[in-house]
Structure 1
Amino acid sequence: MSLAAPDPAAPARADASPAASLAALPILLRPGRPDDVPALLDIYNGQIVSSVSPLHLEPRTLEMWEQWFADHQSDVHPLVVAEAGGRVAGYACLSAFRPPAAYLCTAELSVYVHRDARGRGVATLLMEAILGKARACGRIHSIVSHITGDNEPSRGLHRKMGFELCGTLREAGLKFGRYHDVHVYQLMLGEDA
């Protein structure tokens, strides 16, 4: 999950966003649509080249992201998009945690916000919406989130939403010439899921 400012050690990235800023526009939350895929990919790839969240080293392709989109079209693994002025401002999704069937009761959370829409509560809105969907589906017992590096805005948001720190994988990833810790947060949804 990514909420923090770009990593200062990351390579510089040209701003590919349109001139209109997302900062002052009202936010609409909605399900993801197939025509969102390029914008969602742009947000994710922007994070790959500018921060340590995620720890991917190479940008994802459109073909990969079309499959990712297809994988997030169920009530167990939904996708919520934040829109501002007709443009994608961010997204949240729940993904499969691990392949074995015993892990179907656990989902992994991801939240990414477009760089022009940060600092206005978009991540909070997305988290509230995706957690509501997780509770409503009735099949998810716990949600896990991996937060890379010193991403205090993301860690603070997780704590605010009731997540607890389960542990830290020390220096688990190597990106931009440095090792980075991965903090594991978990939210239990209850025995009824």
Structure 2
Amino acid sequence: MDILIRTVNQGDLPSILRIYNQGIEDRIATLETDLKDLPFMEGWFEKHQERYQVIVAESQNQIVGWASLNPYNLREAYKGVADLSLYIEREFRGKGIGGKLLKEIEGIARENRFHKIILFTFPFNQLGQGLYQNKGYRDVGVFKHQGILDNKFVDVMAMEKLLINEEDTNEN
């Protein structure tokens, strides 16, 4: 399957919205429970400019996945840390698209002077964890009862990947 990875544009938002809503419906990728609409996604897109970029994976002129760099914490001390979002169209999960998106978004993160990417996933999302571990992300730990999903407490796992050598982060 030929996959083109490219920067998002305004016309991609309905496809990104559809894929994000699948993640909400499937209850495997986010604590969000309310489906989003196009005005929500347009506001989200406005916040993803400059360092906080979004990319899409396209196959035969169809968006089949997307990834974004998000602010982790607005404090100056965390300016080198990006939070990752990655969503794949249902029918295309497990076909290598996530790995291609990760490789590209990590390059973008390096270009934008991020030294680390963090992400949060559910411990029961084995497909996602396998992808991240295979691409060099390490388990940081599990937040017990971190959120509520469908009226039940759920745990959330934190993972991270350093993008540069530790010695390079010591700026004096």
Three-state SS of the structure 1 residue aligned to 2:110 is helix
Residue type at the aligned position of 2:93 = R
Q: Counterpart in 2 of 1:12? A: none
Task: Decide which of 27, 39, 53 is 2:15's aligned counterpart.
Answer: 39
Three-state SS of the structure 2 residue aligned to 1:99 is coil
Between the two proteins, the alignment pairs up a number of residues equal to: 167
CA–CA separation in structure 1 for the residues paired with 2:65 and 2:31: 19
Residue type at the aligned position of 1:83 = E
Residue type at the aligned position of 2:49 = Q
Q: Counterpart in 2 of 1:68? A: 44
CA displacement at 1:136 relative to structure 2: 2.3
Does the aligned pair in 1 maintain the 2:55–2:67 contact within 8 Å?
Answer: yes
CA–CA separation in structure 1 for the residues paired with 2:20 and 2:77: 29
User: Equivalences for 1:85-124 in 2 at 5 Å?
Assistant: 85-124=60-99
Three-state SS of the structure 2 residue aligned to 1:143 is strand
Q: Is 1:57 matched up with 2:33?
A: yes
Q: Is 1:151 matched up with 2:115?
A: no
Which 5+ residue runs of structure 1 have no aligned equivalent? 1-24
RMSD over aligned Cα atoms: 1.5
CA–CA separation in structure 2 for the residues paired with 1:102 and 1:111: 25
CA–CA separation in structure 2 for the residues paired with 1:119 and 1:159: 14
CA–CA separation in structure 2 for the residues paired with 1:185 and 1:91: 19
Q: Counterpart in 1 of 2:146? A: 172
CA displacement at 1:143 relative to structure 2: 0.8
Q: Is 1:133 matched up with 2:120?
A: no
Three-state SS of the structure 2 residue aligned to 1:41 is helix
Which 5+ residue runs of structure 2 have no aligned equivalent? none
Runs ≥4 residues deviating over 6 A: none
CA–CA separation in structure 2 for the residues paired with 1:107 and 1:96: 6
